[in-house]
């Protein structure tokens, strides 16, 4: 067992073990094998007495304690005689408190990955380190559905009572970080702290000018929050306590498909920095230069790096309460406007709906955009019931009064295959408008979804702001918009009442 190796040692170990190759600038190029994305259908929560009533079982596949124990014993037996790597790391519970996590991995590069993505404790903390939870990750061990009560050879299983996460049968490193996020999604609401699948930044001049970017993978969280004119708090997972927003993690995990220096210079630069993990990317063997447009392995190619590699990143990892809340969606129907201003009730409605399109590669089997409703913009990581998170968000918005927005980074002028995806350049102009915090804006009410849409934004074509005008056939747009509205109504029927105002958003959509 190699304990708490640093980045230099882990890169050397990975290369010595033939787990990867050295890339330009000292990056580490690795491949995850058969699994190039998350496997949400293989995720299990152990059904246990102390937590059973709190778990959202419609969304979380149960596993018995007996099956979990057998899986654990079999994985430990499999581990015997093998070289393993262990890291003592931390995830934030708030600005001054951490969840201590011991992560044991079969692969050195997995140990490097999670060392980037979580926070490395101080030397004093390491001397007194006691794990609150443990993670065991052995990709070369395959689970057996008959023996382990699972569904395939890949399993991610969480026991809140045993404070243990078991991961096997997958080389995809993202399962490590999302397991930690799932733990905190269970624990933080018990402290009246809102766990959020979002990125966050604040203005350079004012750390209380915080913007949150909720969204699933592929909607633009990492891209839009890495802004040279603002300070990056974090790119994926945060908490919102009474004192403000804090980053749960210590690193970033960015998609690199078609990444370019011109569009995303901050993220592009990290791909040539020492110890950045380059995942599932083809390269030129002559100079190890990366092929950013080659998706032959997967469209879910990624890089993992410490947040300090982003020039304007926050050293404290925290900021004040949000001034702007932005719900990112990637609409493959091409129906939603690129931006809409939301009331508090509408923000909770669209947060619980979690509408977007799963883009190619983020999950196993996704080849092209698939419209989906992922509760709280992160259903696979939400162990508690949706109303817990919905009520928390409502109370936070009510007490701090941020401005709420829906920002569509998907298609316009038609659905996927007919229309065109909204460019990063135009989305950034819209985002600049949002973050300018202008008052008394001219708005129109959307005839299908009832929210308010800005009439004019500098540098943005007016027909883009009114998507019906951007379609070749307005009646085709009307049919698609009606279909999408019906999907929202049908999906929201699953949720219990949050309050009368959120109910009224749903009822108006249903009755119009």
CA distance 78 to 82: 8
The yes-or-no answer on residue 217 being catalytic is: yes
| Catalytic site includes residue 221 | yes
Distance CA 51, CA 416 (A): 42
Question: CA end-to-end span of the chain, whole Å?
Answer: 63
Q: Which of 27, 32, 38, 362 is catalytic?
A: 38
> Phi/psi class of residue 223: alpha, beta or left (left: φ > 0; alpha: ψ in -120 to 50)?
alpha
Active site residue 116: no
Helix, strand, coil percentages (3-state) for the chain, rounded to 5, are: 30, 25, 40
| CB neighbours of residue 145 within 10 Å | 12
Pairwise CA distance, residues 400 & 114, whole Å: 34
The alpha helices in 235-290, defined as continuous H runs, are 265-270
- 107/40 Cα distance (integer angstroms): 22
CB neighbour list of residue 510: distance below 8 Å, 6 or more residues apart: 489
Catalytic residue among 44, 302, 323, 385: 302
> Which DSSP string do the residues of 204-236 spell out, in sequence order?
SS-TT-EEEEE--TTSSHHHHH--TTEEEEESS
- For the stretch 288-295, contacts whose Cβ atoms lie closer than 8 Å and that sit 24 or more positions apart, written own/partner, are 288/21, 288/22, 288/23, 288/24, 288/29, 289/24, 290/23, 290/24, 290/29, 290/256, 292/256, 292/257, 292/258, 292/259, 292/260, 293/257, 293/258, 295/257, 295/360, 295/361
Catalytic residue among 115, 148, 221, 230: 221
Strands 43-46 and 61-63: parallel
Determine which one of 178, 238, 255, 358 is catalytic.
178
Q: Is 184 helix (H, G, I), strand (E, B) or coil?
A: helix
Active site residue 275: no
**391 is written with which tokens?**
């009520």
Residues 6 or more apart whose CB falls under 8 angstroms from that of 414 comprise 334, 420, 471, 472, 476
Choosing from 115, 116, 148, 197, which is the catalytic residue? 197
Cα–Cα distance, 248 to 322 (Å, whole number): 16
**Looking at 111, 143, 193, 222, which residue is catalytic?**
222
Is 197 noted as a catalytic residue in this protein? yes
Annotated active-site residue in 111, 179, 199, 217: 217
503 is catalytic: no
Catalytic residue among 74, 88, 236, 331: 236
Active-site residue numbers?
38, 178, 197, 217, 221-222, 236, 302
């Amino acid at each position: 067992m190699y304990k708490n190796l640093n980045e230099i040692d882990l890169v050397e170990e990975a290369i010595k073990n033939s787990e990867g190759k050295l890339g330009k600038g000292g990056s580490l190029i690795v491949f995850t094998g058969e699994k190039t994305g998350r496997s949400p259908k293989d995720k299990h929560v152990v059904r246990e007495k102390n937590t059973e009533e709190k778990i959202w079982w419609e969304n979380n596949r149960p596993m018995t304690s007996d099956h979990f124990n057998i899986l654990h014993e079999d994985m430990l037996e499999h581990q015997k005689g093998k070289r393993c790597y262990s890291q003592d790391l931390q995830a934030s519970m708030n600005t001054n408190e951490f969840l201590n996590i011991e992560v044991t991995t079969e692969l050195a590069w997995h140990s490097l990955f999670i060392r980037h993505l979580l926070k490395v404790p101080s030397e004093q903390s390491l001397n007194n380190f006691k794990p609150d939870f443990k993670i065991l990750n052995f990709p070369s061990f395959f689970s057996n559905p008959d023996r382990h009560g699972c569904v395939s050879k890949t399993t991610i299983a969480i026991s809140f009572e045993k404070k243990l996460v078991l991961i096997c049968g997958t080389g995809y490193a993202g399962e490590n970080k999302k397991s930690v996020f799932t733990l905190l999604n269970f624990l933080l609401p018990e402290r009246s702290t809102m766990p959020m699948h979002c990125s966050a930044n604040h203005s350079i001049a004012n750390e209380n000018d915080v913007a949150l970017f909720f969204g699933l993978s592929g909607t633009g969280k990492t891209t839009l929050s890495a802004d040279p004119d603002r300070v990056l708090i974090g790119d994926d997972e945060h908490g919102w306590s009474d004192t403000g927003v804090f980053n749960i993690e210590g690193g970033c995990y960015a998609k690199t498909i078609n990444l370019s220096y011109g569009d995303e210079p901050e993220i592009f630069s990290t791909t040539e920095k020492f110890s950045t993990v380059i995942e599932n990317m083809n390269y030129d063997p002559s100079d190890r230069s990366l092929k950013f447009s080659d998706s032959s392995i997967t469209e879910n190619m990624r890089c993992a790096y410490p947040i300090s590699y982003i020039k304007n990143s926050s050293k404290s990892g925290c900021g004040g309460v949000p001034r702007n809340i932005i719900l990112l969606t990637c609409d493959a129907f091409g129906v939603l406007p690129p931006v809409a201003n939301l009331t508090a009730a509408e923000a909770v409605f669209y947060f619980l709906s979690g509408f977007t399109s799963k883009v190619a590669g983020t999950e196993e089997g996704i080849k092209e955009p698939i419209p989906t409703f992922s509760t709280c913009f992160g259903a696979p990581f939400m162990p508690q019931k949706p109303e817990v998170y919905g009520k928390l968000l409502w109370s936070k918005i009510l007490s701090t009064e941020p401005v709420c927005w829906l920002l569509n980074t998907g298609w316009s002028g038609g659905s996927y295959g007919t229309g065109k995806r909204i460019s990063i350049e135009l989305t950034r102009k819209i985002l600049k408008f949002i973050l300018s915090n202008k008052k008394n804006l001219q708005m129109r009410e959307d005839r299908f979804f009832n929210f308010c849409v800005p009439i004019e934004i500098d540098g943005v074509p007016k027909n883009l702001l009114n998507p019906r005008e951007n379609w070749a056939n307005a009646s085709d747009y009307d049919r698609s918009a009606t279909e999408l509205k019906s999907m929202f109504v049908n999906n929201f029927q699953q949720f219990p009442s949050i309050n009368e105002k959120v109910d009224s958003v749903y009822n108006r959509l249903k009755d119009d």
